[in-house]
Every structure is written in structure tokens, then in C-alpha cells.
Amino acid sequence: MPDYRFQRILIFTVSSAALLVSMGSTGNKPTATVGSFMGINIHKHMPVLALAVSLLLCPAVLAQNTQTKVAETEAPNHFSQPQFEILMDEGRTLLENNLFTEAEKVFAEAVQNIKINYGLDSPFQLPAVNLLGKALIAQGSWAALDRQLAYFEWINDSNYNKDIEVYLRWTEVLSRLYLAAAADINNSANAHYLVTAKNLNWRAVSAIESTFGEQSLRLAPWLYNIVLIHYYQSSISNRRFLTSYTYKSESSEIVSGWALGKSESLQKSYGIGKELLQRIRVLYRNSNLANAESDAVNLIYRADWDVLFGKSRSALNLYNRAYVALLTTGLSTQELDGFFSRAKVLPEQSLEVDWYELNDSAQAANSTNPLSFTAWSPVFPATELPEKELPGLTSRRRNGSALFRFDLVPQHRNSTEVAGVNLQPDMKAENFQFLSSSPDWESLETQVQKEISQLHFRPRLQNGRVMTNTTIEMDYSFYLEEGPSLVNELR
């Protein structure tokens, strides 16, 4: 902003002098004049008086100018429209440099700027609140995060009637923010955030059903997200004897003393996952994408779900059905055995019902030797980092890794399989050989070994039968800051 301070002082001086001169000239009986200027009689005290008035006014003008300057530095100009874009860029840079407190301030300022320039419920705020949420997660400011995420949802709800696509896009972003908060080891309310993320997905499902119908294929990825969250939830439930109603609820206050036993909670998660996977299968069957391959792939997802909950007998039955169904579509035994003989850690991170796409991605994942696995968080042990990198965690260093070689041995637990579910893997990792680790800590070896033992692998099949032992080399990456230690050992 240009500085007009001196021009203004000059104008004030000249104008006040002119005023006094005019006052002097109005007298009918000019006495003690010292001369005339442009026909005006000037009183002898006039110049002194003019100077005094100017001197009196100058500090006031100066103070006014200085105050404007101070105000400009202390309070940002929210009325400048492109200002928020500059702030967003600045905030992103701060986030990348792990300066979270500073980033939080800048994003909060950007939100204020957007509110003033575009309105209180402007959807332009959503990207800023999203980044603000990331900064808060990284700092572990949970109370502030709750407020911002509730505000995010309130703004996004207004998109529901305007543009459902925008609503769904931002609901996914919000759900990922909640998941990131749930995965944070320093968060004592992991389950609360996890359940809220799940509820958001359910609300998206309800929105799609009412807009596009209950048979819409758009439901499938949202339903699969809920299935995945149930798996994450089961890994928390598995560590607790009782699950309180508060735990199952998204609200923080205690609503009632209702509680679920561990096995009941796991059964519920298993049942809901099974029901939703069946629904996804029916959605594809009734769609124009229906074909024998996609139906068989849906069976593989169902079988995977049974593997995750220790239902090995029914899982094997489903794999066999999928195998036979794929054979009847004209696929070769060689191709199928190729797919089923690859080591795959479950669950699949996303829903892919196209057989060729699924096969290609499995092939690509196994093309690297050793098999690479990135652990998500100690809160969810033996769970792979979700496909889309989650906010909050991106900023942290994931520079811990350990290279292991082990045998994968199928377990025969058919005789003990009853109605109940358990999260013990069907394929047991044995005969561990520690190859290397970074950093080279002794404790890492046993900790990573424990985590790998908890991984669920898809049974390796040949001609529809479970293959015998196989040796796998795995590069296990994790967040060094938190270590690979299991959460139930920490708490």
C-alpha cells in the first residue's frame, strides 16, 4: 500500500494555514497587519498561530497513519479475495516442513478469509478445513479436531441438495480424516473416530440410495469401505474383553451401560461384512457389468472375509466355487493357479471386481521380490496402510524396515472351527530368518516377527487345493517414531 503520510501532513498544514488566513481576512477593522498577500490582509500573529495549529495537528495525523500501519500488520486483510489462495500455499509448505502449529494458524486464517469473502457456508472452506484437520491430527489436538470436523460436515451437508457428487467426494475426504485420527497411537479415542468414519460411509450409502436407488452400483465402493472398517474395528475388539456402548457409539458421552462381549462384537462385525459383501455381489449381478468372472471375483472377496475371521472351511469352499466358476469362463488352469499361488496379505485394500484388473494388480504386487508390506499403525496391528495415503500420517517419517524370510504353513483347524469367529491367521508364518533391519536394533527382530505372525494370507491354491509350505521374503516397513510394537503390549 503506498505511503501518503507526508502528502497528508502537507495538505493539513496548508489547509489550516489557509483557514486561519481566511479568518484573518474577514475582520472589518484590520488592526496590526503585517502586510497583505494576494489582496488579503495578514494579521501579525497569524503566521505563528498557523504554525501552532499545524504542529498540533501533525502528531494526530502521524498517529493515525502509524495506527493504520500497526493494524495492517496485526490483523490480516480478510477482504482481499486472492489472499486465501496465498495462505493455502503457505500452509501447505508449512505442513510439508512439519511446522504444524504454524500451518494450523495459517489455515485457520484462510478459513476466516473465505468466510468473509464467500459466505459462512462457502464450500471453498472445505479444502482449508481439510488441511487444518491434517495439521491438528499431526499435533494431536483432538478437541480442536472434533470442532473442525463437525464444522466440515456441517458445510458439506449443504452440498447434499446442491450437488450429490460434491457431497460424496468431500464425505470421502472427511471419512479419511477420521480414519487418520483413529490410527494415531497417541489418540485415546481411536474407536470413536473409527466408528464416526464408518457412520459417514453409511450416511453416504443412504444418500446414494435415495438419489440413485438401492440397486445403484455406486454403492459398491462405499459398502466395501464399511467392510474394511469392520475389519479394523475387529482388531480393536479382539483386544478387549467388553465393548461398551460408548465405544460403539460415535458420541463421546456415555449413553447407556449396554455392552458387548468380545466374541459377540466380532460376530457382529463378521456378520455385517458378510452381508455387505453379499449385497455387493448382488449389485454386480443385477448391473449391466454382470458377468461370470465378476461374480467369481465377488466370491473370492467373500472367501477372503471368512479367512480374516478364521472360517477356514467355508473360505476354502468359496475359493473352490470361485475357482470352478472362473474355469468355466474359459480361463486356463495355469492362469488361475498363477493367481492363487501368489502370496497375498488380506484384506484387499480396494474393491476390484474385474478379474483381469485384479489379476494384473496381483501380478504387479508380486513382481517385486521381496514382497513389500507397509504397516498402517500400531493401533491396527497386521493391517496394511490403506491405498490412499492418509492425512496426518503422511508427514511422519516411515523409515523403519525389516527384511525377513519365513515359511508359510497352512493350518488345519477344520475340526475346531465352530460357530464362533477368531482372528488367528489360517496360514501360519514359521521358521523366521531375520535378514536385516533399519535401524539395526535388536528389539526390532522379535517385534516385527510377532506382527508378521498376525498377518492373514490368502490360502495358496493349486487345482483348488491348498498348497503346502512355501517360503516368502518380506520387506516390512513401519513408522519408526512409533515402532512396530503391538498396541496391546503398549497399553
Interface residues toward another protein, by CB under 8 A: 198-200, 202-203, 205-206, 245, 249, 251, 253, 255-258, 260, 264, 268, 271-272, 275-276, 279
SS (H, E, C) 5-61: HHHHHHHHHHHHHHHHHHHHHCCCCCCCEEEEECCEEEECCHHHHHHHHHHHHHHHH
Comparing CB distances to another protein, the nearer of 85 and 214 is: 214
Query: Could you please report the per-residue DSSP string of 272-324?
Result: HHHHHHHHHHHHHHTSTT--HHHHHHHHHHHHHHHHHTT-HHHHHHHHHHHHH
Comparing CB distances to another protein, the nearer of 253 and 440 is: 253
Comparing CB distances to another protein, the nearer of 151 and 245 is: 245
Please state, in angstroms and as integers, the Cα–Cα distance from residue 98 to each residue in 93, 107, 180, following that order: 9, 14, 16
Least distance between another protein and beta carbon 195 (Å): 9
Nearest Cα neighbor of 392 from 479, 451, 475 is 479
Least distance between another protein and beta carbon 308 (Å): 17
Nearest Cα neighbor of 438 from 400, 483, 407 is 400
Least distance between another protein and beta carbon 272 (Å): 5
Least distance between another protein and beta carbon 142 (Å): 19
Comparing CB distances to another protein, the nearer of 68 and 251 is: 251
Comparing CB distances to another protein, the nearer of 60 and 255 is: 255
Least distance between another protein and beta carbon 399 (Å): 38
Least distance between another protein and beta carbon 265 (Å): 11
Comparing CB distances to another protein, the nearer of 202 and 432 is: 202
Gap between the Cα atoms of 240 and 263, Å rounded: 10
Task: Report whether 212 contacts 240 (CB < 8 A).
Answer: no
The H or E element spanning position 140 is: none
Measured in whole angstroms, how far is the alpha carbon of residue 204 from the centre of its chain? 16
Comparing CB distances to another protein, the nearer of 50 and 229 is: 229
Gap between the Cα atoms of 200 and 478, Å rounded: 28
Comparing CB distances to another protein, the nearer of 301 and 476 is: 301
Rg (CA), the chain: 34
Least distance between another protein and beta carbon 126 (Å): 21
Least distance between another protein and beta carbon 388 (Å): 22
- For the chain, give percent helix, strand, coil, nearest 5: 55, 15, 30
Gap between the Cα atoms of 173 and 474, Å rounded: 31
